[in-house]
Amino acid sequence: MLRPLTVPVPASATSATRTFLTLSLAFYVLAIGLGLLLRVSFLQPLPWLHFGHALHAHSHTLYFGWAG
């Protein structure tokens, strides 16, 4: 069973700060997954993956995870 994602933050951090950091980390992990999928598509063509759309989603996922 998977444990919930926890981000190490100071004990003085507010609930909103914890939520923001957790969401930022989740978006970063999602962007990593999309990036790996893009790399795999170079080695093994994936007919269901449109590279341009996946690249666009990858960059926007990183931006929105960073900008919040």
- On whether residue 40 sits in a domain, the answer given is yes
Q: Is residue 30 in a domain?
A: yes
By CB neighbour count within 10 A (0-12 exposed, 13-18 middle, 19+ buried), where does 31 fall? buried
The pTM of the full predicted model, rounded to 2 decimals, is: 0.65
Q: What integer best gives the mean pLDDT of the chain? A: 79
Look at the chain and report how many structural domains it folds into.
Answer: 1
Whether residue 52 is contained in a domain is answered as yes
Asked whether residue 58 is assigned to any structural domain, the reply reads yes
**Is 34 part of any domain?**
yes
Q: How sure is the predictor about 2, in pLDDT bands with cuts at 50, 70 and 90?
A: low
Domain of 47, in residue numbers: 17-67
Question: pLDDT tens digits for 4-37?
Answer: 766 666 666 678 877 888 888 888 888 888 889 8
